[in-house]
């Protein structure tokens, strides 16, 4: 059986809001950690919902002293334009956070469009097996649900590879465990997740 690399945390401290780092997001973390080498003093951080992108941005701001603009595509274009220019003039890094990268943004202002096109991109990808397992384990622990290693292994290879799926899976199983007053097992997980359409209804291997 191939081993799954253990996730790291960034920053490495015992806080509850640690950002778990695996291969799926390590390049984004590295890009933000080396902000002094950016070609311009602005970067884009892109990641799906529940991926920890806002948390990662806050950690970046605390480490670098930089500014962050969350949900950047929803902000006024002149605000983004002036913030981009101010970051270059002050040499204070600016991080624009979004769930999608240009050209998905509908930018009408030509000067802003050209600046965004010149801005480096840091991407949080879908969770890999190591991150998926670590996220499941952490979310179950936060809810006080006792989950065995074999149940985690079973979930990792069956649920959708997304941060949202992790939250929905844990929510569904937490509720079922509380209602039935039973320990979480593979049969209970299978029954619950099939009923919630969170795993495909295909025969077990």
- Res 152 pLDDT > 60: yes
**Residue ranges covered by each domain of the chain:** 25-123, 129-195
Q: What is the mean pLDDT of the chain?
A: 89
Structure-token match 């059986």, residue found: 1
- Cβ proximity of 177 and 145 under 8 Å: yes
**What is the band of 104 on the pLDDT scale with cuts at 50, 70, 90?**
confident
> Taking the mean position of all CA atoms in its chain, how far away is CA 163?
7
- Res 1 pLDDT > 60: no
The set of residues, in sequence order, having a beta carbon less than 8 Å from that of 127 and lying 6+ positions away, is 22, 24, 51, 135, 161, 162, 163, 166
Q: Give the domain 129-195 fold.
A: Helicase, Ruva Protein; domain 3 (1.10.8)
Task: Give the three-state DSSP class for 122.
Answer: strand
pLDDT tens per residue, range 121-140:
999 999 999 999 999 999 99
Helix spans in the chain (H): 26-33, 53-64, 77-90, 110-117, 129-142, 149-156, 163-180, 186-195
- Res 14 pLDDT > 90: no
Q: Which CATH class is domain 25-123?
A: alpha beta
């Amino acid at each position: 059986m191939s081993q799954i690399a253990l996730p790291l945390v960034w920053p490495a401290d015992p806080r509850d809001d640690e950002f778990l780092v695996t291969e799926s997001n390590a390049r984004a973390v590295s890009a933000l950690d080396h902000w002094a080498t950016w070609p311009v003093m602005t970067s884009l951080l892109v990641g799906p919902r529940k991926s920890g992108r806002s948390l990662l941005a806050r950690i970046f701001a605390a480490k670098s002293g930089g500014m962050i603009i969350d949900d950047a595509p929803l902000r006024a274009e002149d605000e983004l334009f002036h913030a981009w220019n101010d970051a270059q003039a002050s040499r204070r890094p600016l991080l624009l956070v979004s769930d999608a990268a240009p050209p998905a943004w509908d930018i009408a202002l030509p000067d802003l469009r050209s600046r965004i096109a010149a801005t480096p991109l840091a991407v949080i990808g879908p969770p890999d097996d190591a991150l998926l397992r670590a996220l499941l384990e952490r979310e179950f622990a936060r809810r006080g649900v006792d989950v065995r290693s074999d149940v985690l292994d079973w979930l990792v290879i069956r649920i959708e590879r997304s941060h949202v799926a992790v939250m929905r899976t844990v929510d569904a199983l937490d509720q079922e465990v509380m209602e039935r007053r039973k320990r979480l097992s593979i049969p209970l997980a299978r029954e619950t997740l099939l009923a919630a359409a969170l795993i495909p209804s295909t025969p077990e291997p």
